[in-house]
Structure 1
Amino acid sequence: MGQLRTSPPPPQAAELEQWVLSTAEELRELRASLRDALTGHGLVQGEDLDEVPHLVVLVATELATNALRHGRPPTIVTLLATDDCFLLDVADHDLGTVPGLGDIHPLDSGGRGLMLAESVSLAVGWYATDVTKNIWASFPR
Protein backbone atom coordinates (compact mmCIF):
# COMPACT_ATOMS: atom_id res chain seq x y z
CA MET A 1 0.00 0.00 0.00
CA GLY A 2 1.51 3.32 -1.07
CA GLN A 3 1.42 6.43 1.07
CA LEU A 4 0.20 9.83 0.08
CA ARG A 5 2.79 12.58 0.46
CA THR A 6 2.57 14.69 3.60
CA SER A 7 2.29 18.33 2.63
CA PRO A 8 -0.05 21.16 3.62
CA PRO A 9 -1.63 23.19 0.82
CA PRO A 10 0.06 26.45 -0.14
CA PRO A 11 -0.28 28.95 2.72
CA GLN A 12 -1.27 31.78 0.39
CA ALA A 13 -4.53 30.01 -0.55
CA ALA A 14 -7.65 32.00 0.29
CA GLU A 15 -10.81 30.22 1.47
CA LEU A 16 -13.73 30.68 -0.92
CA GLU A 17 -16.41 28.35 0.46
CA GLN A 18 -16.81 25.64 3.10
CA TRP A 19 -19.31 22.82 3.65
CA VAL A 20 -19.78 20.66 6.75
CA LEU A 21 -21.20 17.17 6.12
CA SER A 22 -22.47 14.62 8.59
CA THR A 23 -24.20 12.14 6.26
CA ALA A 24 -23.83 10.74 2.75
CA GLU A 25 -27.23 12.26 1.88
CA GLU A 26 -25.60 15.70 2.00
CA LEU A 27 -23.27 14.85 -0.91
CA ARG A 28 -25.88 15.83 -3.52
CA GLU A 29 -26.11 19.37 -2.10
CA LEU A 30 -22.30 19.54 -1.89
CA ARG A 31 -21.98 18.69 -5.59
CA ALA A 32 -24.48 21.36 -6.69
CA SER A 33 -23.15 24.01 -4.33
CA LEU A 34 -19.51 23.30 -5.22
CA ARG A 35 -20.21 23.58 -8.96
CA ASP A 36 -21.98 26.93 -8.32
CA ALA A 37 -19.03 28.14 -6.23
CA LEU A 38 -16.53 27.24 -8.96
CA THR A 39 -18.49 29.00 -11.68
CA GLY A 40 -19.18 31.95 -9.37
CA HIS A 41 -15.47 32.45 -8.79
CA GLY A 42 -14.74 32.97 -12.47
CA LEU A 43 -13.62 29.53 -13.55
CA VAL A 44 -15.98 28.98 -16.47
CA GLN A 45 -16.50 32.55 -17.69
CA GLY A 46 -14.82 32.45 -21.08
CA GLU A 47 -12.25 29.89 -19.94
CA ASP A 48 -11.48 26.73 -21.83
CA LEU A 49 -11.40 24.61 -18.68
CA ASP A 50 -14.86 23.07 -18.99
CA GLU A 51 -13.77 19.78 -17.44
CA VAL A 52 -12.27 21.37 -14.33
CA PRO A 53 -15.55 21.93 -12.41
CA HIS A 54 -16.59 18.36 -13.21
CA LEU A 55 -13.25 16.98 -11.99
CA VAL A 56 -13.26 19.09 -8.81
CA VAL A 57 -16.82 17.95 -8.02
CA LEU A 58 -15.91 14.32 -8.77
CA VAL A 59 -12.83 14.39 -6.53
CA ALA A 60 -14.74 16.24 -3.77
CA THR A 61 -17.45 13.58 -3.87
CA GLU A 62 -14.95 10.72 -3.72
CA LEU A 63 -12.85 12.21 -0.91
CA ALA A 64 -15.90 13.29 1.11
CA THR A 65 -17.42 9.82 0.69
CA ASN A 66 -14.17 8.26 1.99
CA ALA A 67 -14.13 10.67 4.94
CA LEU A 68 -17.77 9.96 5.79
CA ARG A 69 -17.26 6.20 5.45
CA HIS A 70 -13.87 5.78 7.15
CA GLY A 71 -13.29 8.95 9.19
CA ARG A 72 -14.97 10.57 12.15
CA PRO A 73 -17.64 13.21 11.51
CA PRO A 74 -18.15 15.89 10.68
CA THR A 75 -16.47 16.00 7.28
CA ILE A 76 -15.38 19.51 6.28
CA VAL A 77 -14.97 20.31 2.58
CA THR A 78 -13.23 23.61 1.81
CA LEU A 79 -12.68 25.26 -1.57
CA LEU A 80 -9.66 27.58 -1.63
CA ALA A 81 -7.87 29.47 -4.39
CA THR A 82 -4.48 30.89 -5.26
CA ASP A 83 -3.80 33.07 -8.30
CA ASP A 84 -3.42 30.05 -10.57
CA CYS A 85 -5.21 27.12 -8.96
CA PHE A 86 -8.18 25.94 -6.98
CA LEU A 87 -7.55 23.80 -3.91
CA LEU A 88 -9.98 21.29 -2.52
CA ASP A 89 -9.41 20.36 1.14
CA VAL A 90 -11.41 17.52 2.73
CA ALA A 91 -11.03 16.99 6.48
CA ASP A 92 -12.32 14.45 8.98
CA HIS A 93 -11.65 14.01 12.68
CA ASP A 94 -9.92 10.60 12.65
CA LEU A 95 -6.31 11.31 13.60
CA GLY A 96 -5.53 7.63 14.09
CA THR A 97 -5.16 6.68 10.44
CA VAL A 98 -2.84 7.74 7.62
CA PRO A 99 -4.30 8.11 4.10
CA GLY A 100 -2.96 5.39 1.85
CA LEU A 101 -3.15 4.45 -1.80
CA GLY A 102 -4.47 0.93 -1.36
CA ASP A 103 -4.28 -1.99 -3.72
CA ILE A 104 -7.38 -1.55 -5.84
CA HIS A 105 -8.95 -4.56 -7.47
CA PRO A 106 -11.20 -4.10 -10.54
CA LEU A 107 -14.29 -5.53 -8.82
CA ASP A 108 -13.96 -3.52 -5.59
CA SER A 109 -16.77 -1.05 -5.05
CA GLY A 110 -14.68 1.59 -3.30
CA GLY A 111 -11.23 2.81 -2.45
CA ARG A 112 -10.58 4.74 -5.63
CA GLY A 113 -10.91 8.29 -4.26
CA LEU A 114 -7.22 8.96 -3.66
CA MET A 115 -6.15 7.26 -6.87
CA LEU A 116 -8.71 9.28 -8.82
CA ALA A 117 -7.55 12.49 -7.15
CA GLU A 118 -3.94 11.71 -8.02
CA SER A 119 -4.80 10.98 -11.65
CA VAL A 120 -6.93 14.08 -12.43
CA SER A 121 -5.47 16.85 -10.26
CA LEU A 122 -2.24 18.83 -10.40
CA ALA A 123 -1.10 17.61 -6.97
CA VAL A 124 -2.48 15.74 -3.95
CA GLY A 125 -1.25 15.64 -0.37
CA TRP A 126 -2.35 15.35 3.22
CA TYR A 127 -1.63 16.88 6.59
CA ALA A 128 -2.98 16.80 10.13
CA THR A 129 -3.93 19.57 12.51
CA ASP A 130 -4.61 19.15 16.23
CA VAL A 131 -8.16 18.03 15.45
CA THR A 132 -8.39 16.99 11.78
CA LYS A 133 -6.78 14.88 9.08
CA ASN A 134 -6.93 16.78 5.78
CA ILE A 135 -6.51 15.57 2.20
CA TRP A 136 -6.09 18.23 -0.48
CA ALA A 137 -6.00 18.31 -4.27
CA SER A 138 -5.20 21.21 -6.60
CA PHE A 139 -6.70 22.04 -10.00
CA PRO A 140 -5.89 24.69 -12.65
CA ARG A 141 -7.81 27.93 -12.33
Structure 2
Amino acid sequence: MIGVSDSTGTLASAPGFAEWTFPAEAGAVRTARTLVRDTLHEWGMSALTDVTVLLVSELVTNSLRHAGAPIGVRMSAPRDGALLVEVSDPVSEPPRERSAHPEDEGGRGLQLVALASRRWGTRRGESGKTVWFELGLPGREAGEDT
Protein backbone atom coordinates (compact mmCIF):
# COMPACT_ATOMS: atom_id res chain seq x y z
CA MET A 1 0.00 0.00 0.00
CA ILE A 2 2.78 2.46 0.88
CA GLY A 3 4.49 4.21 -1.97
CA VAL A 4 1.79 3.47 -4.52
CA SER A 5 0.83 7.11 -4.75
CA ASP A 6 1.07 10.22 -2.65
CA SER A 7 -2.32 11.50 -3.69
CA THR A 8 -5.19 11.75 -1.28
CA GLY A 9 -7.77 10.18 -3.57
CA THR A 10 -9.22 6.73 -3.23
CA LEU A 11 -6.77 4.23 -4.69
CA ALA A 12 -9.14 1.31 -4.61
CA SER A 13 -12.81 1.34 -3.86
CA ALA A 14 -15.50 -1.27 -3.73
CA PRO A 15 -18.52 -1.71 -1.52
CA GLY A 16 -17.03 -2.11 1.92
CA PHE A 17 -13.42 -1.35 0.88
CA ALA A 18 -11.39 1.86 0.59
CA GLU A 19 -7.68 2.62 0.53
CA TRP A 20 -5.70 5.87 0.49
CA THR A 21 -2.07 6.96 0.67
CA PHE A 22 -1.18 10.33 2.18
CA PRO A 23 2.03 12.34 2.00
CA ALA A 24 3.80 12.88 5.32
CA GLU A 25 2.40 16.37 5.77
CA ALA A 26 0.45 17.96 8.61
CA GLY A 27 -2.75 18.06 6.52
CA ALA A 28 -2.72 14.26 6.16
CA VAL A 29 -4.44 13.78 9.52
CA ARG A 30 -7.30 16.14 8.67
CA THR A 31 -7.70 14.61 5.20
CA ALA A 32 -7.71 11.07 6.60
CA ARG A 33 -10.41 12.01 9.12
CA THR A 34 -12.56 13.53 6.38
CA LEU A 35 -12.21 10.57 4.01
CA VAL A 36 -12.91 8.03 6.77
CA ARG A 37 -15.96 9.99 7.94
CA ASP A 38 -17.33 10.35 4.40
CA THR A 39 -16.70 6.69 3.56
CA LEU A 40 -18.41 5.39 6.69
CA HIS A 41 -21.39 7.63 5.98
CA GLU A 42 -21.52 6.30 2.41
CA TRP A 43 -21.39 2.71 3.71
CA GLY A 44 -24.23 3.38 6.16
CA MET A 45 -21.91 2.93 9.16
CA SER A 46 -22.31 6.36 10.72
CA ALA A 47 -22.60 4.82 14.19
CA LEU A 48 -18.88 3.94 14.00
CA THR A 49 -17.74 7.32 12.70
CA ASP A 50 -16.61 9.06 15.90
CA VAL A 51 -14.53 6.21 17.29
CA THR A 52 -13.08 5.26 13.89
CA VAL A 53 -12.10 8.85 13.09
CA LEU A 54 -10.50 9.23 16.54
CA LEU A 55 -8.43 6.05 16.21
CA VAL A 56 -7.38 6.75 12.61
CA SER A 57 -6.38 10.26 13.65
CA GLU A 58 -4.19 8.87 16.45
CA LEU A 59 -2.50 6.28 14.23
CA VAL A 60 -1.92 8.63 11.30
CA THR A 61 -0.48 11.19 13.73
CA ASN A 62 1.89 8.54 15.11
CA SER A 63 2.99 7.61 11.60
CA LEU A 64 3.45 11.25 10.69
CA ARG A 65 5.62 11.88 13.75
CA HIS A 66 7.76 8.76 13.50
CA ALA A 67 7.87 7.77 9.83
CA GLY A 68 8.12 11.00 7.89
CA ALA A 69 7.10 9.16 4.73
CA PRO A 70 3.86 8.23 2.96
CA ILE A 71 1.12 6.86 5.20
CA GLY A 72 -1.50 4.38 4.03
CA VAL A 73 -5.00 3.90 5.39
CA ARG A 74 -7.20 0.97 4.41
CA MET A 75 -10.72 0.19 5.59
CA SER A 76 -12.82 -2.86 4.94
CA ALA A 77 -16.03 -4.20 6.38
CA PRO A 78 -15.60 -7.97 6.14
CA ARG A 79 -18.37 -10.46 6.67
CA ASP A 80 -17.30 -11.33 10.21
CA GLY A 81 -19.21 -8.43 11.76
CA ALA A 82 -16.27 -6.05 12.12
CA LEU A 83 -14.88 -2.97 10.46
CA LEU A 84 -11.17 -3.51 9.83
CA VAL A 85 -8.95 -0.42 9.68
CA GLU A 86 -5.23 -0.50 8.88
CA VAL A 87 -2.67 2.32 9.00
CA SER A 88 0.69 1.61 7.36
CA ASP A 89 4.00 3.40 7.13
CA PRO A 90 7.50 2.49 5.93
CA VAL A 91 9.09 2.19 9.40
CA SER A 92 9.35 -1.50 10.31
CA GLU A 93 9.76 -0.97 14.07
CA PRO A 94 6.44 -1.61 15.80
CA PRO A 95 4.93 1.16 17.92
CA ARG A 96 5.36 1.00 21.68
CA GLU A 97 2.60 1.53 24.18
CA ARG A 98 3.60 4.11 26.74
CA SER A 99 2.37 4.87 30.21
CA ALA A 100 1.71 8.56 29.88
CA HIS A 101 1.87 10.74 32.96
CA PRO A 102 -1.05 13.12 33.59
CA GLU A 103 1.01 16.12 32.45
CA ASP A 104 2.23 14.44 29.21
CA GLU A 105 0.74 15.83 26.02
CA GLY A 106 1.14 12.59 24.09
CA GLY A 107 1.65 8.88 24.56
CA ARG A 108 -1.96 7.76 24.80
CA GLY A 109 -2.75 6.86 21.18
CA LEU A 110 -2.17 3.12 21.41
CA GLN A 111 -3.98 3.00 24.74
CA LEU A 112 -7.00 4.55 23.03
CA VAL A 113 -6.76 1.99 20.23
CA ALA A 114 -6.54 -0.88 22.73
CA LEU A 115 -9.45 0.37 24.84
CA ALA A 116 -11.81 1.34 22.03
CA SER A 117 -11.32 -1.55 19.60
CA ARG A 118 -12.51 -5.14 19.65
CA ARG A 119 -9.02 -6.31 18.64
CA TRP A 120 -5.85 -4.62 17.42
CA GLY A 121 -2.28 -5.45 16.53
CA THR A 122 0.71 -4.77 14.33
CA ARG A 123 2.40 -6.67 11.54
CA ARG A 124 5.54 -6.14 9.54
CA GLY A 125 5.37 -5.95 5.79
CA GLU A 126 7.97 -6.01 3.05
CA SER A 127 8.56 -2.30 3.46
CA GLY A 128 7.30 -1.18 6.85
CA LYS A 129 4.56 -1.99 9.29
CA THR A 130 0.81 -1.89 9.63
CA VAL A 131 -1.12 -1.13 12.79
CA TRP A 132 -4.67 -2.45 12.56
CA PHE A 133 -7.81 -2.47 14.64
CA GLU A 134 -11.29 -3.95 14.45
CA LEU A 135 -14.52 -2.36 15.59
CA GLY A 136 -17.66 -4.43 15.99
CA LEU A 137 -20.52 -3.39 13.75
CA PRO A 138 -23.57 -2.33 15.75
CA GLY A 139 -26.31 -4.93 15.66
CA ARG A 140 -24.03 -7.70 14.40
CA GLU A 141 -22.16 -10.33 16.33
CA ALA A 142 -18.75 -11.61 15.33
CA GLY A 143 -19.09 -14.52 12.95
CA GLU A 144 -22.61 -13.58 11.84
CA ASP A 145 -22.93 -13.47 8.05
CA THR A 146 -24.58 -10.47 6.44
TM-score by length of 2: 0.77
The Cα of 1:15 is off from its aligned counterpart by: 6.6
The equivalent of 1:68 in structure 2 is 64
The equivalent of 2:86 in structure 1 is 89
Number of equivalenced pairs: 121
Matched residue type, 2:52? V
In 2, Cα distance between equivalents of 1:106 and 1:71: 26
TM-score by length of 1: 0.79
Match of 1:115 among 102, 108, 111: 111
Q: Once the two structures are aligned, what percentage of the paired residues are identical?
A: 31
Cα displacement string for residues 78-108 of structure 1 (whole angstroms, at most 9, x for unaligned residues): 111212111110001011x222111211111
Contact between 1:78 and 1:90, CA under 8 Å: does it hold in 2?
A: yes
In 2, Cα distance between equivalents of 1:75 and 1:105: 28
The equivalent of 2:19 in structure 1 is 18
What runs of 5+ residues in structure 1 fail to find an aligned partner? 1-13, 45-49
Is the deviation greater in 15-24 or in 71-80?
15-24
Higher relative contact order (CA 8 A, sep 6+): 1
Contact between 1:72 and 1:94, CA under 8 Å: does it hold in 2?
A: no
In 2, Cα distance between equivalents of 1:65 and 1:15: 24
